[in-house]
Structures are given as C-alpha cells and as structure tokens.
A = this chain, B = another copy of it.
C-alpha cells in the first residue's frame, strides 16, 4: 500500500476502503487511517437524516462465535445510524455449528445474506480464513488472541480527538500485554506513528516478543507502573485476568500493582488521558470516572463514529 494522500473531499478521489476486508490494522497505511479519522469527523458533524442515506438498503451480518455484547452493539448502532440494517448469530450454541457445520459453510451462507460481515471467532487465523471465503467485505471484530483492528482504529481516533494529534506522544500500555488481543492491534497501529511506547506489565504477562519483532520503533518495557506513569500522555489500561495465574495469591499481589485509583491521579500529567477497551472490572476504580482525564467512555462514543465511518467507506465507492 503506497502513501498517496486520499481525500473524500475531492470528487475524483479513490476510496481505499471500498469493498475491502478489515483483518489486521497492518493492512492499512497511516494515510488511510487518517482518511478514516477525517471521515469519522465528518460523520460526527452530519445530521441524523443525512447519515441515514449512507447505508440505505445495506445489510450488516454479524457472526459472533464468541460472546461480545459491547462490540456487537457498537457495530449494530453504527450500521443503524447510517440507515442500514443488521442481522446475525451469536455464540456457537444457537447455530448450525451445533449440528457440526464448519465455519467455512457458515460464512458462505451468511455471505449470501449480507452486504458486509462482522465476525468474532475464538481461533487464531479465523478472520483471514473467513475473509477469503466471503465474497463480501469482512471485518474482524476479534480473532483468537491475535488482533482486533477496529479497536485499534478507535483507540487511535480517541487519542487524536483528545490530544489533537498522535505524533510526539508518550504512550503507556498497562496490564495484561500477553493475552489481550486489543494490545497487539494497538501496538501495530501506533508503530505507524512517531510515538514513544512504554509497556508496563508483570513479568508473567509481558508482551509476546515474537509478535513485535517487526516494529519500526523501539518499545520500552517496565514492570513497575510508578516508574513511568508521571511521564505518560496516554495511559492505556487493560484487565488482568485471574485465570492467567496458577496461584491466586500471586494474582492478588500482581493485580494490585496496576490499579488506577484516585491517588494515582495526583501523579499523572494534568493533560494525560486514561483509556480502557472495556469492560473494566476493578483495574480502574469508579472514583476515577469523574476526572476529566478519564476518557474510556468518550472512547466508546468515538468508537461508534469510527465504526460508522468504516462501514460507510466500505459500502460506498464514492462518498
């Protein structure tokens, strides 16, 4: 993918998202991401009635082989807000999978019912595999432990909206960096920008090295949150899951070291922002929610706009 500047403002532009799969954030250039962000801005400024024309008569089908209320509802809300409609299937229990049907056949059938497919699946590689089968564009809403590209897109958009730009920032990602698929997509996306990336996690949950060997920029790893938190512009928090620890006491000890509470707010920059992919359990205390630096619910709002923009750009060749 070259780095020609696309623009939806120019009548004869090419829309690089048209009819395209969204499997990995690595498939998109920085210029393309910025086009997406500008278009999300534009959608955010449209009136309700204007937006309704963007996907009129188009159907989004969701195929979620793993539960996810939040992501599914986000895509549904985005599609409905641009005038399309939605249908889909949840979990493997209510589906033909029960009868032993392969993901291959399931996707082939759904492909015939929809103009665009949003899939989540518990297996690595499933999204790429499904996209090859489907004739319609497919959006990966989480595949195995690998990627969650639309989460990374909305994360970047959040940073840009909250901070004005992404380049030049110091960004810390905190918590479980080993198993959280959102983290990998985010790191790949940030690597397209000129940022300093600090990864803060317990040893047991540090980033899987084999997944970051191809990064352009160096990343800095830390075990103690206190060492860097006061220097960060972005504090991106993820959940530490109990089931990752063989020993519950070890879990309790570790977990406590990465909790964002009111005391920590005194140590962070006055213009820093705190992000979280949600759902959160107790890694960010409720007492933090009312601080203006707590951006995780604004992040959900930005996420809806990014999803609507992405869907509109994929569906409409000229926009």
Which residues of A line the B interface, CB within 8 A? 48-49, 51-52, 56-59, 61, 67, 69-70, 73-74, 76-77, 80-81, 83, 85-91, 94-96, 98-101, 104-106, 108-110, 112-114, 278-281, 286, 297, 300-301, 304
Contacts and interface: CB of A to CB of B under 8 A. Distances in A.
A77 B278 contact: no
B98 A87 contact: no
Given A85-B80, A101-B279, A279-B101, A73 B300 contact: no
A286 B85 contact: no
Contacts of A108: 297, 300
A86 B95 CA distance: 19
A48 B56 CA distance: 9
A83 B56 CA distance: 10
Contact of A73 (B67, B87, B101, B280): B87
Given A89-B73, A101-B280, A81 B59 contact: yes
B95 A69 contact: yes
A181 B74 CA distance: 32
A105 B114 CA distance: 31
Q: What 4 A-B pairs are tightest by C-beta distance, nearest first?
A: A77-B113, A101-B279, A96-B279, A48-B57
Contact of A76 (B83, B87, B105, B281): B87
B56 A52 contact: yes
A49 B85 CA distance: 14
The winner among A90, A105, A110, A300 for most chain B CB atoms within 10 A is A105
Contact of A99 (B87, B279, B300): B279
Given A59-B80, A112-B301, A105 B278 contact: yes
Given A59-B80, A61-B73, A73-B89, A100 B301 contact: no
Contact of A89 (B58, B69, B80, B95): B69
A40 to B, nearest CB: 15
A100 B76 CA distance: 23
Nearest to A94: B67
Contacts of A304: 112-113
